[in-house]
Amino acid sequence: MIVSATTECFYHLPLPEALDRLVELEYSYVELALHEHGCQLKPSEIAADLEKAVGICRATNRLDVIAYDVQIAAQGEAHYEQFEAICKLAKATKVVTLTVPSAELGTPFNEEVEHLRKLVAIALLQGVRVSIKSQVGRLSEDPDTVTVLCDNCKGLGLTFDPSHYICSPHGNKNPDKLMKYVFHVHLRDTSKKQLQVRVGQGEVEYGRLITQLEKQKYNRALSVNITEMPDVDHNSELRKLRLLLESLL
């Protein structure tokens, strides 16, 4: 396993500045946040000029890109066209894993299965894997639903974020059974009442999680995803979690 960080940690900064920050914090691997409503690289920009996007994603200031976190705002066929462009970007930059959000709560289950199957089929043509992100407020907030989605969409995996199962309306459900579906991991510290707290003040059992992942022969990234908190040294938190995770590997 390797330790990385996502540029979502610095979602308010342009991509070059976010990368510079992560280099200063001595990260070697990076996950790029491709969010349409962000200020870094957007899915619509990738679809409009794939060659330019490939150049941007190769100029990462010595950081190796290990995953893309994708949030597409477009609907209908435009959504799938942008996703296909991102899959081509992933192939060109030798990235295997794309994280996408699952549908919001209330979305018909069969509709979501059809959507995810289409994404997986598009990705497969480029040798890329798709995983849904653990996220409160979406279908993936419930471990049981994640299991059914992954079982019904062959080739679909999970970007496991334990925070969303600790600070969750389904907190009484054990997410351990999800380990076999994990393609990628997002980490911060969290409590039952607060999604993000200072490292060491929450309930995430990093050592236990790593042991569980090792049993599944998981050998990919643990991606730090900490956003800024009031009156807390953001850089210190990012450095602290990197050092903690590296000490456990």
Determine the residue type at 172. Answer: N
CA dist 167 and 173 (Å) reads 11
Helix axes 206-215, 234-248, angle to 10 degrees: 50
| pLDDT tens sequence across 91-117 | 999 999 999 999 999 999 999 999 999
Cα–Cα nearest to 150, from 129, 168, 125: 129
Beta bridge partners of 33: 69
| Residue 83 contacts residue 119 (beta carbons within 8 Å) | yes
Across the chain, what does the average pLDDT equal?
A: 95
State the DSSP string of 86-115: HHHHHHHTT--EEEEPPPBTTS-HHHHHHH
pLDDT in tens, 154-184: 999 999 999 999 998 776 678 999 999 999 9
List the domains of the chain with CATH numbers: 2-248 (3.20.20.150)
Which residue, 9, 98, 25, is CA-closest to 61?
25
- pLDDT per residue, tens digit, the chain (249 aa), is 999 999 999 999 999 999 999 999 999 999 999 999 999 999 999 999 999 999 999 999 889 999 999 999 999 999 999 999 999 999 999 999 999 999 999 999 999 999 999 999 999 999 999 999 999 999 999 999 999 999 999 999 999 999 999 998 776 678 999 999 999 999 999 999 999 999 999 999 999 999 999 999 999 999 999 999 999 999 999 999 999 999 999
Q: What is the pLDDT of residue 173?
A: 79
* pLDDT tens digits, 6-19: 999 999 999 999 99
Predicted local distance difference test score (pLDDT) of residue 237: 97
Q: What is the value of pTM for the model shown?
A: 0.94
